[in-house]
């Protein structure tokens, strides 16, 4: 079957270090994956095309790249699924990472994020012989995160990392979850506190779901982040803007049936946090000038009683 690929190229040795698009039309087997097509280009059309790949079976994590703007593991992406009618595919290197050449990105940022969570078991004791005793359920629970192959797709498409390079990122937080949930680890509370307090930690996620959408291994990093937050709150870590934001959000919707944005901003900052409140002032003034400042006293939604009822019925269930 005929396929068309448009590949973003980059050669650092080229003058100016500019990127360019290169188009390839090739004939591939109907069962081909995107990776098969790229290998065919590399081996038969253009030996200068650089990319990483190894296992071809979605276990080594080498071949993450963007297909039509979204990060994918190309070895498990079939051509017929992404270009059923022979549409041209655009292939780019992953985002939020420095491009080394063509489709090859540096994973230095990725692995430095992983290192920030001290990703190794910290037990309080080591059995002198035999193994740790733990339930099968507790171990199989960890599979959710151990399925991570460190391909970098979640980091590539993370919308927070796009604007905040200090965010520890979805992969590292999913890795941290693997230790906070491991019954053999003795530093659960310390880990939760560190990720809770840390600038760029668990509260910087904006819940956009992008990492869940692009993860090729079902790790669902955002779900792990939400579980980390719940665990951190349960462990008593409530003095953060993240927690106050959550609490304010909850209270204002429950009370008014709608979000009180002014109060949300002030609650999140903390009413006694003068420097942070002063930071907010210019934003408030700019919003006022453009007529975008939310009302200082919230309006109640006409349906606020129904919203309250929803809260009560959901909370009654749990």
Partner 1 sequence: MYEHDVLIIGGGLAGLRAAVEVTRAGVDVAVISKVHPVRSHSNAAQGGINAPLTDRGDKWEGHAYDTIKGSDFLADQDAVEVMSSEAGEAVLELERMGVIFSRGDDGKLGTRAFGGQKVARTFFIGAITGSAILHVLFEQSLKLGLNVYEEWFVTKLIIEDGVCRGVVAIDLKTGEMHTIKAKAVIMAAGGAGRVFEPSTNALICTGDGLSLAYRAGVPLMDMEMIQYHPTTLARTGILMSEAARGEGAYLLNASGERFMEKTAPDYMELASRDVVSRAEQTEIDEGRGIDGNVLLDLRHLGREFIEQRLGYLQEVSVEFLGIDMAEQPVPVQPGMHYIMGGIKTDVNGATNVPGLYAAGECANVSVHGANRLGANSLLDTVVFGRRSGAHAVEYIKGISGHSKVEKDLTAEKTRLQALLDRPKGERVATIRDDMARGMTKGIGVFRDQTSMEGALANLANVKSRIGGFSIENKGKVFNTDLMFGLELEFMVDCAEAVVAGALTRKESRGAHFRTDITERDDENWLKHTLVYKDETQEHGNRVETSDVKITQWEPVKRVY
**Residues making contact with partner 1 (CB under 8 A):** 11-13, 31, 43-44, 46-48, 50-62, 76, 78, 100-102, 104, 106-107, 114-115, 118-121, 123, 126-127, 129-136, 139-140, 142-143, 146-150, 182, 184
- Nearest CA among 106, 31, 22 for reference residue 64: 106
Residue closer to partner 1, measured from CB, 82 or 121: 121
Token pair recorded at residue 191: 């880990």
Min separation Cβ 80 and partner 1, Å: 10
Q: How many residues does the chain have?
A: 318
Residue (125 or 271) nearer to partner 1, CB: 125
**At closest approach, how far in Å is the CB of 65 from partner 1?**
14
Q: Which is nearer to partner 1, 9 or 244 (CB)?
A: 9
Which is closer to partner 1, CB of 1 or CB of 55?
A: 55
C-alpha to C-alpha distance for 10 and 19, rounded to whole angstroms? 5
298 touches 249 (CB < 8 A): no
> How far is the C-alpha of 230 from the C-alpha of 222, rounded, in Å?
12
Nearer Cβ to partner 1, position 164 or 185?
185
Question: 98 or 305: whose CB is closer to partner 1?
Answer: 98
Lookup: tokens for 262: 């002014």
To which residue do tokens 């009560």 refer? 312
CB of 81 to partner 1, least distance (A): 9
> How many whole angstroms separate alpha carbon 15 and alpha carbon 176?
42
Give the shortest CB-305-to-partner 1 separation in angstroms: 43
CA 55 distance to own-chain centroid: 24
Closest approach, Cβ 218 to partner 1, in A, equals: 8
Q: Residues with Cβ < 8 Å from 116, sequence gap 6 or more? A: 168, 172, 198
Nearer to partner 1, 141 or 206 (CB): 141
Neighbours of 250 (CB within 10 A): 11
90 contacts 68 by C-beta, under 8 angstroms: yes
Q: Smallest distance from the beta carbon of 202 to partner 1, in angstroms?
A: 20
> Hey, CA dihedral for 68, 165, 264, 236, is it positive or negative?
positive
**Residue in the block written with tokens 């990776």:** 35
Shortest distance (Å) from residue 83 CB to partner 1: 17
Beta bridge partners of residue 94, listed in sequence order: none
- The total of other beta-carbon atoms located within 10 Å of residue 174's CB is 28
What backbone phi and psi angles, to 5 degrees, belong to 99?
A: -85, 130
Identity of the residue, 25 or 81, whose beta carbon is nearer to partner 1 in the bound complex: 81
CB of 210 to partner 1, least distance (A): 21
């Amino acid at each position: 079957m005929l396929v068309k690929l448009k590949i973003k190229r980059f050669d650092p040795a080229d003058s100016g270090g500019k990127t360019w698009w290169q188009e390839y039309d090739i004939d591939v087997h109907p069962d081909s994956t995107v990776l098969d097509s790229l290998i065919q280009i590399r081996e038969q059309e253009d030996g200068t095309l650089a990319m990483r790949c190894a296992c071809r079976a979605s276990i080594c994590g080498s071949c993450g790249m963007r297909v039509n703007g979204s990060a994918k593991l190309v070895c498990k992406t079939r051509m017929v699924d992404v270009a059923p009618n022979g549409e041209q595919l655009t292939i780019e290197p992953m985002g939020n990472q420095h491009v080394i050449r063509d489709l090859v990105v540096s994973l230095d940022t990725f692995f430095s994020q992983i290192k920030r969570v001290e990703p190794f078991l910290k037990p309080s004791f080591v059995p002198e012989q035999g193994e740790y005793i733990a339930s099968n359920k507790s171990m199989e629970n960890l599979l959710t995160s151990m399925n991570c192959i460190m391909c970098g797709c979640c980091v590539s498409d993370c919308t927070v990392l796009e604007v905040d390079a200090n965010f520890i990122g979805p992969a590292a937080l999913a890795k941290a979850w693997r230790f906070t949930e491991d019954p053999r680890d003795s530093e659960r509370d310390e880990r939760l506190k560190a990720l809770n307090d840390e600038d760029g930690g668990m509260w910087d996620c904006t819940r956009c779901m992008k990492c869940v959408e692009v993860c090729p291994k079902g790790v669902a990093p955002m779900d792990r982040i939400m579980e980390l937050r719940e665990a951190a709150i349960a462990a008593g870590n409530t003095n953060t803007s993240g927690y106050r934001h959550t609490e304010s959000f909850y209270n204002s919707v429950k009370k008014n049936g709608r979000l009180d944005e002014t109060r949300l901003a002030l609650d999140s900052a903390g009413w006694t946090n003068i420097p942070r409140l002063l930071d907010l002032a210019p934003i408030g003034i700019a919003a006022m000038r453009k007529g975008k400042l939310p009302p200082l006293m919230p309006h109640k939604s006409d349906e606020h009683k129904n919203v309250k009822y929803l809260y009560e019925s959901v909370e009654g269930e749990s």
